[in-house]
Amino acid sequence: MVRVAVIDRDYCKPSRCNLECIRFCPINRSRRKKAVDLSEDKSRAVIYEDICVGCGICIKKCPFHAISIVNLPDEYEKFLVHRYGENMFKLYGLPAPRRGQVLGIIGQNGAGKSTSIKILSGQLKPNLGRINDPPEWDEVIRLFRGTEVQAYLSKLSSGEVKAVIKPQYIEQARHLLKGVVRELLMRADEVGGFKDVVVAMGLENILNKKVSELSGGELQKLLISAVLLKNANAYFFDEPCSYLDIKERVRVARVISEFTKPELNYVVVVEHDLMILDYITDNIVAIYGEPGVYGVVSKPYSTRVGINHYLKGYLPAENMRIRDYEIKFRVTLKGEAREENPYPILAWGSMEFEYPSSGFKLSVESGEVYIGEVVGVIGPNGIGKTTFIKLLSGELKPTSGDVLISASNVSVKPQEVSPSLFQEETVLANLKAASQLAVDPTSWLYIELVKRLKLNRLLDRRVDELSGGELQKLAVAVSLAREADLYFLDEPSAYLDVEERISVAKVIRRIIEEKHKAAIVVEHDLLLQTYVSDRVMVFWGIPSVSGRSTRPMEIREGLNHLLKNLDITVRRDPDAGRPRINKPGSVLDREQKQRGVYFAID
């Protein structure tokens, strides 16, 4: 067995603890040395994997949960591709891009997806685990002899592959990029496709905007467009659908397929929205392991089969169980909460509202929300969803119509999450400010909210040290921990992997049911929306000009209404039960359109 010991350098703070990990570590008799010791600069602990016996004492003694130790089969080391440093993350294997096919990558956050595409794009040279004596390209290529990865890396090392990446976290681009959208895209254009990309991506209305004025979705489309305008033969898209509504997600998927020309180039997509990943890719690989400790790249599977295996938690080609439970998708066909609770917690009549300054108009059909109910909100961005919430909370007064039963107290999780959103420095302080119960290990709220979202390991972390996914989970937890009548959650799944999205969906439902309150969830991942919502409201219109909403409808009716407007048909996978987008013009697509069934879940 090979022992992998990882110490998170952001967690390990010897100056803030009693170094019990070192004091309680038994001395190795043959080496007369402890497996855990301080680094030379005394800034952190170090674990010597060659003498560590895996007793687990240091793991239990570390107050900051900074230490992870796992045992792996010896044969894994033959495929070690990269290690960031001593006691840091290990990656085993690499995905194999192919011309003529779009390759998808799926896996948990921290398992090595971004590391893989950094290596494949040439941004990171693999060191085969030799931190102080990194190998040359010839040695790296020999590791993959006889595989498709060998041929790709040979081209990459010789300069035949010119790669470009759409990064995962787009917020960084807001600080780095300065200027107007038009100028930035024209500077990025290396293929003379500026006009075509602008039209295909629907960027006409933002060309004269500054980057600082863009919404999250607009910034996402700007970065994708810049990548498409590069003269490259390998394109990597790391989570291209964050902050985009369902209409824009499908648009982006189609544009990527058209402009990257997969039949001639290498195209790799990392995406947690399984419907879009299924729609855009031909093959996928799963990256599994222990997040932050090690990741293993699976063999390639056809997209449908690979996603289903991943959801079941078992990869047959590797004979490997990657999860001890199966992810199943819940689809509500009728208003369950409405039957159990005949009296609404919120109710409104037909309303209209107009912003005098911009002229934007919103028309809302009458509706109600019941105790313990989660109502999903779907539709394009910029058509009044946030305005609707402000009308319900009393922050805005309708031009006509009225709120019949209002929400006196609303807790909001905004769309974009950054450290500046939080008033306190640490995770613990922010949760405590939201609710004392959220930090009491004996309370139901701590167990159902903090532990299920795995925030209990982050309590001592500073907010500005958190990753995008960790910030997202903290924002969801803080908003749900507050006392309110209505919980409004705007895109709670951004930057979260599949497992985390399901965990968030379960937490939302559990908290709403326990508190006997109501929630409105704006979520563009339709797969998650079918899981979390009892009913849905569909918003439609012209962004920034006019919007209108339907009443809360059953899932089948609401999604059928939305997908008909988008001219998209969706079916359920017969094995996993997950929704899948039909290929345009396919037999199933034509048959469902003829029947008028755009969301077929039977």
- Residue 39: inside a domain, yes or no? yes
Assigned token pair, 424: 């306190």
Which pLDDT band, with edges at 50, 70 and 90, does 332 fall under?
low
CB 453 within 8 A of CB 501: no
Which pLDDT band, with edges at 50, 70 and 90, does 10 fall under?
confident
CATH of the domain at 45: 3.30.70.20
| Domain residue limits at 345 | 336-600
CB 119 within 8 A of CB 81: yes
Cβ partners under 8 Å of residue 192, min gap 6 = none
CB 373 within 8 A of CB 532: no
CB 501 within 8 A of CB 493: yes
48, 72, 96: which is the final residue of a domain?
72
- Residue 238: inside a domain, yes or no? no
532-548: pLDDT as tens digits = 899 999 998 887 789 99
Direct distance between the N- and C-terminal alpha carbons of the chain, in angstroms, rounded to an integer: 48
- What are the backbone angles phi and psi of residue 522, rounded to the nearest 5°? -90, 115
Is the pLDDT reported for residue 296 higher than 50? yes
Q: How many domains does the chain have?
A: 2
- Residue 124: inside a domain, yes or no? no
pLDDT at 602: 65
CATH of the domain at 349: 3.40.50.300
CB 529 within 8 A of CB 521: yes
409 or 320: which leads in pLDDT: 320
Nearest to 246 by CA among 493, 462, 47: 493
Q: Average pLDDT, stretch 236-257?
A: 90
- Residue 41: inside a domain, yes or no? yes
- Highest mean pLDDT pick, 36-40, 155-159, 247-251: 155-159
Does residue 149 sit in helix, strand or coil? helix
- Rounded distance between C-alpha atoms, residue 116 and residue 152, angstroms: 13
- Residue 125: inside a domain, yes or no? no
- Rounded distance between C-alpha atoms, residue 283 and residue 306, angstroms: 8
pTM score of the predicted model: 0.86
CB 518 within 8 A of CB 487: yes
pLDDT at 335: 46
- Rounded distance between C-alpha atoms, residue 352 and residue 366, angstroms: 11
DSSP-assigned letter for residue 449: I
- Residue 179: inside a domain, yes or no? no
pLDDT at 13: 79
53, 72, 91: which is the final residue of a domain?
72
In 456-552, DSSP assigns E strands to 486-490, 518-522, 535-542, 546-549
Question: Distances from the Cα of 509 to the Cαs of 371, 432, 441, 451, in angstroms?
Answer: 12, 22, 21, 15
Lowest pLDDT segment from 17-31, 101-115, 155-169, 434-448: 17-31
82-136: pLDDT as tens digits = 999 889 999 999 999 999 999 999 999 889 999 999 999 999 999 999 998 999 9
Q: Which residues of 343-358 are buried (b: 16+ CB within 10 A; e: fewer)?
A: ebbbbbeebebeeeee
Which pLDDT band, with edges at 50, 70 and 90, does 330 fall under?
low
Does residue 344 sit in helix, strand or coil? strand
pLDDT at 521: 93
- Rounded distance between C-alpha atoms, residue 217 and residue 278, angstroms: 21
Is the pLDDT reported for residue 427 higher than 80? yes
- Residue 501: inside a domain, yes or no? yes
Long-range pairs, 196-203, Cβ under 8 A, ≥24: 196/259, 197/225, 197/228, 197/229, 197/255, 197/259, 198/225, 200/251, 200/255, 200/258, 200/259, 201/225, 201/251, 201/252, 201/255, 202/248, 202/251
- Residue 516: inside a domain, yes or no? yes
Mean pLDDT (the chain, rounded): 89
Q: Which amino acid is at 13?
A: K
Assigned token pair, 220: 């996402």
17, 51, 72: which is the final residue of a domain?
72
CB 81 within 8 A of CB 93: yes
pLDDT at 331: 59
